[in-house]
Amino acid sequence: MSTKHTKAADRFIANKAQEVWHNQTLRFVRDKRDNMAMQLPEWETLRETAHQIKMHTITHLDHYLNEFSMHAEANGVLVHWAKDADEHNQIVYSILQSHGVKKLVKSKSMLTEECHLNPFLIEKGIDVVESDLGERILQLMHKAPSHIVMPAIHLKRQDVGRLFETKLNTEKDNSDPTYLTQAARVHLRQEFLTAGAAMTGANFGVASTGDVVVCTNEGNADMGTALSPLHIISMGMEKVIPDLKSLAVFIRLLARSATGQPVTAYTSHYRKPREGSEMHLVIVDNGRSNMLGNEDHLQTLKCIRCGACMNTCPVYRRSGGYSYTYFIPGPIGINLGMSRSPEKYSDNLSACSLCYSCNNVCPVKIDLADQIYKWRQKLDSFGKADPAKKNLSVGMAFLFKRPVLFQTGLKMAPVINRMPRFFVYNGLNDWGKGREMPHFAIHSFAALWKKGKISGANQKKKNAES
């Protein structure tokens, strides 16, 4: 059975060169992340701590949101509460209207994407300018982001070059990234200087101080908010954390996980409105409180939107962000979509091989693959289950929970290597369709480990003997 995801993935991989490039580029980002993680002996402690802080905060969310909003108000910030996307959009529009704003510059915000704020405001006659370079490129193309941290990751430089030729009057056939970035800098500088309001998202809201923290590499959030007389912040209610000490943990994890940088160039803490200006904060529910009540899927609320689960996902890397039907792709997007509407977004559940790589890189240790597995078990209830895969999934879970059987299974796996291709790719094996089956090693890893053929095991043995 093919889903909307598999069909879209087919179209993506039809362009072999693009598929290879996309896969390698994201793999490279994953490698950079690994490199950063390995430089910190406390990396795993940080992840575990981040997970625990988030679990604590989301299970005391009423308390922390109250504390956060009281501090923000004491700082002179005007706080608004929105139960859903419509309410959020209305609030933003009425703030803009009361200030007579014609042009709004925005820095990247997945929440405003979730609420479809831009089309709403544009229809009301407001000039909305995205200022993150990737977002601006996509806005000029009338396209959506294909990745939550690297929105234009699916585009080639020539695509951007051609776009800027018509939109920004750049030289013909010049697709040098430095040249194009400079052109965008000049163009967006004018937008910053002429905007009536600036809008940002929020990476973190610090309850003990009321600070809103935004991380960028480009400096666009600060350029906008330091110039215009009005700053509007759109923040999902799960973004609150207890205090600055907790913030230290997340800041250490975020950029390392996201892009493999030690930190973003700017980590901005907005506390009070700038002299002579107004600062508004819109705290948004839009389905988040519902997720709190679902123990199986509660952990998605821990997400800090780093994108690491996409970069590592073999399916995302080879099918691209647009192959998913929810606006956030990859493992976290599959789960967020299902939490929003299982009926609408269940096609994305097929975009997972249960390799568990996402669980292992997620800086806040979200049980992404487990959740996908659980959703698959519930597919029946939406009448969407694929009988062949259902059996396979159940079988795999059965094996994963029984290590002895699992190991026997892997020892026998080399048998597959000797099977004629027909048996492996016979159309009955749904996992072989569109996938090259893994070539199983002659000696399983576990066997080699036990035999001491792997250096780590040798080393351990030696240590034990000495």
Does 129 participate in binding ligand SF4 (rule CB under 6 A)? no
**CA-based nearest residue to 40, from 321, 331, 268, 251:** 251
Joined tokens for residue 174: 């010049």
DSSP character for 189? H
As a whole number of angstroms, the distance between CA 364 and CA 121 comes to 34
* Partner in contact with 233, chosen from ligand SF4, another protein, none, beta carbon below 5 to 8 Å by kind: none
* Partner in contact with 307, chosen from ligand SF4, another protein, none, beta carbon below 5 to 8 Å by kind: ligand SF4
Query: Which C-beta is closer to ligand SF4: that of 188 or that of 254?
Result: 254
As a whole number of angstroms, the distance between CA 370 and CA 401 comes to 12
Query: Which C-beta is closer to ligand SF4: that of 347 or that of 367?
Result: 367
Sequence-separated (6 or more) residues with CB below 8 Å from residue 120 = 89, 93
Query: Which C-beta is closer to ligand SF4: that of 273 or that of 307?
Result: 307
The residues in 296-315 that bind ligand SF4, with binding defined as CB under 6 A, are 303-309
* Partner in contact with 232, chosen from another protein, ligand SF4, none, beta carbon below 5 to 8 Å by kind: none
End-to-end CA distance of the chain: 57
Query: Which C-beta is closer to ligand SF4: that of 238 or that of 347?
Result: 238
DSSP 43-112: HHHHHHHHHHHHHHHHTTHHHHHHHHHHHHHHTT-EEEEESSHHHHHHHHHHHHHHTT--EEEE---HHH
As a whole number of angstroms, the distance between CA 167 and CA 48 comes to 47
- Provide the CA 318 distance to its chain's centre, in angstroms: 16
The residues in 304-363 that bind ligand SF4, with binding defined as CB under 6 A, are 304-309, 332, 361-363
**CA-based nearest residue to 53, from 356, 301, 367:** 301
DSSP character for 146? S
Query: Which C-beta is closer to another protein: that of 83 or that of 451?
Result: 83
Contact (CB, 8 A) for 149 and 306: yes
Query: Which C-beta is closer to ligand SF4: that of 353 or that of 429?
Result: 353
| Interface size with ligand SF4, residues (CB under 6 A) | 14
Does 366 participate in binding ligand SF4 (rule CB under 6 A)? yes
- In the three-class reduction of DSSP (H, G, I as helix; E, B as strand; rest coil), residue 427 is classed as coil
* Partner in contact with 332, chosen from ligand SF4, another protein, none, beta carbon below 5 to 8 Å by kind: ligand SF4
Query: Which C-beta is closer to another protein: that of 59 or that of 459?
Result: 59
* Partner in contact with 32, chosen from ligand SF4, another protein, none, beta carbon below 5 to 8 Å by kind: none
- Quote the least distance from Cβ 316 to ligand SF4, whole Å: 10
Does 22 participate in binding ligand SF4 (rule CB under 6 A)? no
Does 137 participate in binding ligand SF4 (rule CB under 6 A)? no
- Quote the least distance from Cβ 72 to ligand SF4, whole Å: 24
- Quote the least distance from Cβ 62 to another protein, whole Å: 4
Contact (CB, 8 A) for 319 and 5: yes
* Partner in contact with 303, chosen from another protein, ligand SF4, none, beta carbon below 5 to 8 Å by kind: ligand SF4
As a whole number of angstroms, the distance between CA 157 and CA 242 comes to 42
- Quote the least distance from Cβ 209 to another protein, whole Å: 8
Selected from 364, 372, 379, 385, the binder of ligand SF4 by CB under 6 A is 364
Query: Which C-beta is closer to another protein: that of 131 or that of 325?
Result: 131
Q: Which residues bind ligand SF4 (CB under 6 A)?
A: 303-309, 332, 361-364, 366, 368
